[in-house]
Amino acid sequence: MTNKPDRSGSCILAGFALAAMIACTTPSASAHEANKRMADANALATTDTASRPAPQSRRPVARAEKGPYYVDFRARTAASWGHAFVWYGKTSERAVEVAGLTPAGDTLAYVLGHLTFVPSETGASYGDLDPEYLTASYRVYLNEADAKRVFAYIKKLQASSPVWNAETTNCTGFIGDIAEFMGLKVPYRWQRPENFVNSLKDMNGGRQMVRLSAE
């Protein structure tokens, strides 16, 4: 009886070899699914990026404008009610001009000014240049052309304000006329100087630059 060679071991070894080859050349089901998900994700990301509008460049932050000239509406303490006045001038210079409306003379003139009209002064008064007396301030900047117009108006107002009266022609009314000429919104004038200046600033949104004419 001739013995037939036992090929079962060879078949088994061949099977293992084939399986190893398949394993090396064909990804498993889980790896295949992972690759498919990654491909889908990349495709979705590409489509989403294409459909999204390009990001817009950021707009520059608007900065407050400051012209070479200014008018500074100010209030300070006083023996009684307080006083409102303006500083005006050029930003590059330390010297300032001062304009305001006060009774000329001593305390008696101030008292009489609550009853009748008394002679006035329209320049700097005691305490106008001292920062320790300051209670409110609102500075507005101007270009050169507008500054010439506003400064001329202030001087004209000084020349045409010969009298002072606590109820009708007082300091808040005086600087209110200047603010109105500059195109600002003006609050109720017959109030404490500090409240008037703060209200003037609030009503105009703290606006820093005023333009009366085209440059």
How much is the pLDDT for 51?
A: 42
21-30, 85-94, 128-137, 205-214: segment of lowest average pLDDT: 21-30
Q: What is the model's pTM?
A: 0.69
- Percentage of the residues of the chain whose pLDDT score is greater than 90: 60
Using CA atoms, how far apart are residues 150 and 193, in angstroms rounded to an integer?
Answer: 21
CB 165 within 8 A of CB 55: no
Between 18 and 184, name the one with better pLDDT.
184
Using CA atoms, how far apart are residues 199 and 109, in angstroms rounded to an integer?
Answer: 29
pLDDT digits (tens, 9 = 90+) for 35-92: 454 455 444 444 443 344 444 444 433 345 678 999 999 999 987 789 999 999 999 9
Between 18 and 150, name the one with better pLDDT.
150
Using CA atoms, how far apart are residues 99 and 122, in angstroms rounded to an integer?
Answer: 6
Mean pLDDT of 102-118: 93
Q: Which two tokens stand for residue 187?
A: 């609050």
- Average pLDDT of the chain to the nearest whole number: 78
Name the one residue in this structure whose structure tokens are 């330390």: 94
- Percentage of the residues of the chain whose pLDDT score is greater than 70: 68
Between 125 and 60, name the one with better pLDDT.
125
For the chain, the structural domain boundaries read 8-49, 69-203
Residues in a beta bridge with 100: 85
Does position 113 have pLDDT exceeding 90, yes or no?
Answer: yes
How much is the pLDDT for 78?
A: 85
Contacts for 125-128: CB closer than 8 Å, 24+ residues apart: 125/83, 125/85, 125/100, 127/76, 127/77, 127/78, 127/83, 128/74, 128/76, 128/83, 128/85, 128/98, 128/100
Does position 201 have pLDDT exceeding 90, yes or no?
Answer: yes
**Greatest distance between any 2 Cα atoms in the chain:** 154
